[in-house]
Structure 1
Amino acid sequence: MILHCMKKTTWEERKDKECWGRRNINNGGFIHCSTIEYFWRVAVNFASVEDDLVLLCIDEDKLNAEVRYEDSDNCGRAYPHIYGLVNNDAVVKVLPFLRNEDGTWRKNPEFAGIQDK
């Protein structure tokens, strides 16, 4: 399973569509995602976003688009990038982006058994 974070309002617009992600692809060439183990490393990028956020839990095996694990920043870690639209039947769960008082992500209880890397 891989994660994609987005504004809750954006998800509300997309959740009933067959596929989504064209804006993401037009802006960056692919749709950025993370593994659960690495999400704590990218979650800081969302700390200043005041809107409600959600985490889309995407089953890679159900995606119609290609997923490539790439280390675009040469940080020694490969992150999943989706090269194509996300078919909504690959989104198996939508979770709230939980926050601490300082706005940083608080690990969702559903991920408690998954060790951060």
Structure 2
Amino acid sequence: MATIFHIAFTEQWAAARAAGCYRWSTRGKSLDDGATFIHASRPEQVALVANFAYDDVTEPLCLLVIDTARLVSALCDEDLEGTGMSFPHIYGPLNLDAVVDVRPYARGVDGLWPEVTAEAVS
């Protein structure tokens, strides 16, 4: 099973479960607001993204663990910023049955969002 992660606010995940699909692209942007895809990360990219895009967030987040084989929307691996690092992007809503686990994600004692290892996915 190939898996990717999406960083989410717990209340947005709860609302998505009630609505039947998840539509948040990243912090503050949704597919309903004109975003064209949902940002995702491989395990080794989660902390990088969290410490950049969620650096001032104090509440715990959650990690949606996504089985890529279950996605209904298209998945593309892209380097849109030209950084030399590509990220998985989901072009369309995230179907709930593709989310195989939801894990709490809290800051470490050092104040940073922690690394996620590939072993943690299996």
**Does TM, scored on the shorter chain, surpass 0.5?**
yes
TM-score normalised by length of structure 1: 0.83
Task: Please say if residues 58 and 93 of structure 1, whose CA atoms lie closer than 8 Å, have aligned partners that are also in contact.
Answer: yes
The separation in 1 between residues aligned to 2:6 and 2:118, in whole angstroms, is: 18
CA RMSD of aligned residues (A): 1.9
**Where does structure 1 lack aligned partners over 5 or more consecutive residues?**
none
Aligned to 1:29: 36
Q: Are the aligned partners of 2:13 and 2:22 in contact in 1 as well (CA < 8 Å)?
A: no
The aligned residue for residue 61 of structure 1 is 69
- Do 1:71 and 1:77's aligned partners in 2 also have CA atoms closer than 8 Å? yes
Matches of 1:30 and 1:103, distance apart in 2: 29
Over the matched positions of the two proteins, sequence identity in percent amounts to: 34
CA contact (8 A) 1:98 1:107 kept: no
Deviation of 1:102 (Å) = 4.3
**Residues paired across the two proteins, number:** 112
Alpha-carbon separation, structure 1, partners of 2:71 and 2:118: 25
Distance change in 2, residues 1:112/1:60 (3 Å):
closer
In structure 1, the residue corresponding to 2:119 is in which secondary structure?
coil
